[in-house]
Amino acid sequence: MKSFAWLVATALFLSALTPAWADKKQKSDNAQPKIAAYAVGFYNLENLFDTIHAQGKNDFDFLPDGSYKWNTVKYENKLKNMSRVLSEMATDKVKAGCAVIGISEIENRQVVLDVLKQESLKNRGYKLLHVDSPDRRGVDCGLLYNPRFFTLEDSLYVLYIYPNDSTGERPLGFVQDPKTNDIKPLPLYGDTTHITRGFLVGIGTMAGEKMAVIVNHWPSRGAQSIARERAGYQVYALKEALLKKYPGIKIIIEGDLNDDPNNKSVVDELKAVSEVSDVKDAHSLFNPWYNMLYKVGQGTLLYKGKWNLFDQIILSGNLIVGNPQPDATTAASEPAQGKKAKKGNKNNAAKNYNQLTYRSHEVFLRDYLIQQDGRYKGSPLRTTAGGTWLNGYSDHLPTIVYLVKEKE
C-alpha cells in the first residue's frame, strides 16, 4: 500500500510540471485553459536543383557535366537530407511539426514535390505554394503549408523592381486600387539587368485568424547594400497594403534577407524593432532575431568564423500588442516554453492567449547539421564545399517561431 501511495504522489508531482501552454488535457476545473501551439519555420535549402537544364537559366553547375558533377545519386541524397530537416523542424515542441515553412533556393516546383514524396514527409500532408521567379539562376521561393493548421485562401507574387536612378523614384511591384484596396502585381519594368527573386505571399487563416506569410530571398551579398534596402522598402509597402486590404490581418515576413538584423534594409527600410516594448500597433514589426544574434550569439550561417543571421522571421505588431511576452532572448533550440521567468520580469507575468500570439523562437540547431571536423568545422554542413561533395544539408540553419492561442 505504501508503494502504491508513493506512485500516486509521484504521478501527481510529474503532472504539475507540464508546460501551461502545451496542448494537454487539463485535470481539474481550476486548471489553466488549454493552449494550442503553431510553429512557423523558414529554411534555405541551398541549391535544390535537379539534373536537367532549364532553358534560359544559368543552372549549368548543377548538371552531370557541370562543376558540381550533379547526378541522380547526389540529387536523391539531397532530397532525403532536405526532407529529414523539414520533417523534424519543431517536432520536439509541436508534435505535428511546422504549420507553415517558407523555403528558398529551389529550382522549380517539381524538386519540392520530390522532397515531399520522401519517406519522412510523405504522410505529413504538406501542400506547396510556388511561383516561378525571373531569377537568372532559376532559384525560387516557396511556401509549404499543412492544411490542418493553415488554410490557403489567396496568393500574390510581387516582383522586385529596380528604381529609376535618373529620377530617384522608388517604384513598387504592385498598385493598390484606392476604392477596393485590391492589390495588383505589376509586370517587370525599368532596369532588368540584375533580375532577382520577387516576394511570394500566401494569404489564409491560422487558428481562425486571417494571416499573410511573405516569403523572401533578397539580393545576394554580392550586390551593394542598397539592393537589399530596396527590398526592405518594397516589402514594408506590401505589408501596409495587406493591412489596408485586410484590416486586422496578422503578417509574417520571413526569408533569407542576405542581411543581418542590424542592417539598414531591416532597421531603416523594413522598420523592424528588436524589443517588444517598441511595438506600438499592428503596423509595427517585431524582429526577435536581433537579440538572438547579438545577445545569445547564435546565427544561421558562418562566414570566416563569424555568425550571421540572414534567415529571419519577423512578426506584425498585432501578434505582440496586448499580450505580455516572454524574454525575446530565447536560446537556440531552447524548448518553446522557455526557461523559468526571472523575478521581476513583467513580460512573464499574466499571459493573455485568446488571440494568436508570439511565444518564442529558435534557431533549429542539431549536431547532424554542423560539420564536425576539417577546415569548416563548426559551420553548417553544406552539400558541397571546396569542390568536394559532403552529402550535407545547407549552408544555412533553419529558424522557427512559435505562436500560441487558447483553445475554445
- DSSP-derived secondary structure for 392-408: ---SS--EEEEEEEE--
pLDDT band, residue 31 (cuts 50/70/90): low
CATH class of 32-406: alpha beta
**Integer Cα distance of 351 and 345 in angstroms:** 12
Q: Is the pLDDT of residue 32 over 80?
A: no
Residue 252: name the closest of 272, 222, 269, 276 by CA: 272
* Cβ-based burial of 109 (10 A; exposed 0-12, middle 13-18, buried ≥19): middle
**Integer Cα distance of 102 and 275 in angstroms:** 24
Q: Is the pLDDT of residue 2 over 70?
A: no
Mean model confidence pLDDT for the chain: 88
Count of CB atoms situated within 10 Å of the CB of 344? 7
- pLDDT (0 to 100) of residue 166: 66
**59-118: pLDDT as tens digits:** 999 999 999 999 999 999 999 999 999 999 999 999 999 999 999 999 999 999 999 999
Contact yes or no for 20/36 (Cβ under 8 A) = no
- Per-residue pLDDT averaged across 332-354, rounded? 45
- Per-residue pLDDT averaged across 284-288, rounded? 98
- pLDDT (0 to 100) of residue 64: 97
Q: Which of 12-26, 162-176, 386-400 has the weakest average pLDDT?
A: 12-26
- pLDDT (0 to 100) of residue 353: 85
> Backbone dihedral region of 290: left (phi > 0), alpha (psi from -120 to 50 degrees) or beta?
alpha
Contact yes or no for 218/255 (Cβ under 8 A) = yes
Cell readout for 55 is 532553358
Q: Is the pLDDT of residue 25 over 70?
A: no
Domain assignments of the chain as residue spans, ordered by start: 32-406
- This prediction has a pTM of 0.88
Radius of gyration of the CA atoms of the chain, in A:
22
- DSSP character for 78? H
- Per-residue pLDDT averaged across 138-154, rounded? 98
- Per-residue pLDDT averaged across 257-268, rounded? 98
The residue length of the chain stands at: 408
- pLDDT (0 to 100) of residue 326: 47
